[in-house]
Structure 1
Amino acid sequence: MSKTPTLLSGGNPQIPKGEGDGPVQAYIAAMPGWKSPIGALIDAIIAREIPGVAKAVKWNSPFYGREGEGWFLSYHCFDKYIKITFFRGQSLKPIPPVSSKSGDTRYYHIHEDDFDAEQFADWVRQASALPGEKL
């Protein structure tokens, strides 16, 4: 019998860390409400734009990168939005809208009914070509 993942503060699913697509799909399935279909779309866009993308769940967040080259993106659920983290976001054009205390990192907050899939796909292509974060 499978256990339903616990939702942490802000509605972020608590998923055991792990490498590969399985943990990421478990996270997406556990995302609450409107966030789960958007999470599936985020994952599909990344997989379409970056064939063979490496996936993992770390710190209760999905991570995407290139095998052996580090991570370029992760995301996390909050009450009212999904927070996309671009680790080298300062280098993207246009720069994602939300700043970070960490110099090069930028965020894109997705609220219900305001996901710009075309812009997101462009950022994914750009971010995947930059050096990844070794976390």
Structure 2
Amino acid sequence: MPKPKLLSGGNPQIAKADGDAPVQAYIAAMPGWKSDLGARLDTLITRTVPDVRKAVKWNSPFYGVEGQGWFVSFHVLTRYVKVTFFKGLLLHPIPPGGTERSKDARWIDIHESDALDEDQLEAWVKQAAAIPGWTP
């Protein structure tokens, strides 16, 4: 099977599909250190929300709760991985990334040299999964 094409910033091009398999294909295709980070994020989300629903949409893994919509996604950019909480404005503390135009969404950008605060990420995932998420 050919390796997925990398789009601008190194983001893997993976066809839209529901389930764990396309998410794992995306993570495997993430370049360099970002693949390990993707695996850590996927493990943390799955451990925190055992019945999590997964899909790849718009060349990004999405995580949600059945009947409640999507609560988090991540996306590869050139120098970092962006982790977006769709209702991040409702989380405590509010994730640092966001603008007036981003509505309820808030995010964190994780660079290679950043220490991953798994406790904070887990707290955000737990909060985000407990509230109605984003439905496209």
TM-score (norm. length: structure 1): 0.97
Identity of aligned residues (%): 59
Stretches of structure 1 that go unaligned for 5 or more consecutive residues are: none
Alignment match, 1:54:
53
Q: RMSD of the TM alignment (CA)? A: 0.8
How far apart, CA to CA, are the structure 1 residues paired with 2:110 and 2:84?
11
Query: 1:42 Cα deviation (Å)?
Result: 0.1
For 1:66, give the aligned amino acid.
V
How far apart, CA to CA, are the structure 1 residues paired with 2:6 and 2:110?
19
How far apart, CA to CA, are the structure 1 residues paired with 2:63 and 2:54?
5
2:85 aligned with 1:86:
yes
Structure 1: 4+ residue segments shifted above 6 A: none
Stretches of structure 2 that go unaligned for 5 or more consecutive residues are: none
How far apart, CA to CA, are the structure 1 residues paired with 2:34 and 2:94?
24
TM-score (norm. length: structure 2): 0.96
How far apart, CA to CA, are the structure 2 residues paired with 1:91 and 1:64?
17
Report if aligned partners of 2:68, 2:131 keep a CA contact under 8 Å in 1.
Answer: no
Alignment match, 1:110:
110
Alignment match, 2:10:
11
Q: Which string of whole-angstrom CA distances, capped at 9 and with x for unpartnered residues, describes residues 15-51 of structure 1?
A: 0110000000000000000000000000000000001
How far apart, CA to CA, are the structure 2 residues paired with 1:107 and 1:17?
22
Aligned residues: 134
Give the secondary structure class of the aligned counterpart of 2:107: strand
